Amino acid sequence: MKKDNKLKVTYRVNGQIRVPEVRIVGDNIESQVLSIGRARAMADEMGVDLVEISPNAEPPVCRLIEFSKFIYMQKKHAKEVKAKQVKVEVKEIRFGPQTDDHDYDFKLKHAKGFLSDGDKVKAYVFFKGRSILFKEQGEVLLLRFAQDLEEYGKVESMPTLEGKRMTMFIAPKKVIAKPMKTAEELESEKIVAEAPVKKQPQQKAKKEYTGPKVEGEDFDD
């Protein structure tokens, strides 16, 4: 009811319209400029209201229509617009600087699913304690992640180190409208995305890196 009152206040109707002349429009009505008196008389003859829809036009534009019907149409249009709006959610994927292949593939699979659903992915490497010494490995990991997801999304921001986190955002290539997810579904996805990284002994031999080259870094050392 409050929304209806707000809409009614937004539009001037009949005697509230105080300008010398207006342009009238409506169903099966030829658009024309009339004096305000003639426009009101025409509305009375048709048994409808004179509703000002474009007050800033020169002259202002008024529609010949029943005001209650006009309000209903405005509410219906607003609902349709809201239904078509796309809600993009941000899903977090957490890595450690020395994530093993199994854990990496597991999270890559879910990131592909998130991007396919139209969600944005926030991938980050968390450096705990002295692991900050491996920040270069963290950057390489995120760049590899971006390369493996290039068919599903595009990098929105390159890896950036803030405190103990190095973060990168990947946006979906296709944004699609989708129904709201239940609290249970959102909680399930959160558990998957934040699955703990398996600890493993520090590897002596580095694997050959085939991803994009980072300026200033030498992966052959």
Above pLDDT 90, what percent of the chain? 43
Which of the four pLDDT bands, split at 50, 70 and 90, describes residue 192?
very low
What's the pLDDT score for residue 117? 87
Residue 146 has pLDDT above 90, yes or no: yes
For strand 120-126 and strand 61-65, is the pairing parallel, antiparallel, or unpaired? unpaired
Mean pLDDT of 27-52: 92
What's the pLDDT score for residue 120? 93
Mean pLDDT of the chain: 80
Residue 207 and residue 138 in contact, taking contact as beta carbons nearer than 8 Å: no
Mean pLDDT of 114-132: 88
Write the CA distances from 58 to 6, 29, 54, 196, 200, integer angstroms: 25, 19, 9, 64, 73
Residue 48 has pLDDT above 90, yes or no: yes
| pLDDT digits 0-9 by tens, 64-101 | 999 999 999 888 888 888 777 667 789 999 998 888 89
What's the pLDDT score for residue 39? 94
The total number of residues written for the chain in this structure: 221
Report all structural domains of the chain as residue ranges with CATH numbers, in order of start: 2-66 (3.10.20.80), 90-193 (3.30.110.10)
Give Rg (Cα) of the chain. 30
The kind and range of the H/E element at 9 are: helix 2-10
CA gap 122, 111 in Å, rounded: 9
Mean pLDDT of 138-166: 91
What's the pLDDT score for residue 105? 93
CA gap 176, 24 in Å, rounded: 39
Residue 143 has pLDDT above 60, yes or no: yes
Range of lowest pLDDT (56-70, 152-166, 170-184): 170-184
Per residue, the 3-state secondary structure of 142-184, as one string, reads HHHHHHHCCCCEEEEEEEEEECCEEEEEEEECCCCCCCCCCHH
Beta-bridge partners for 92: 122
Q: Is 183 exposed, middle or buried (0-12, 13-18, 19+ CB in 10 A)?
A: exposed
What's the pLDDT score for residue 205? 47
Residue 60 has pLDDT above 50, yes or no: yes
Residue 24 has pLDDT above 50, yes or no: yes
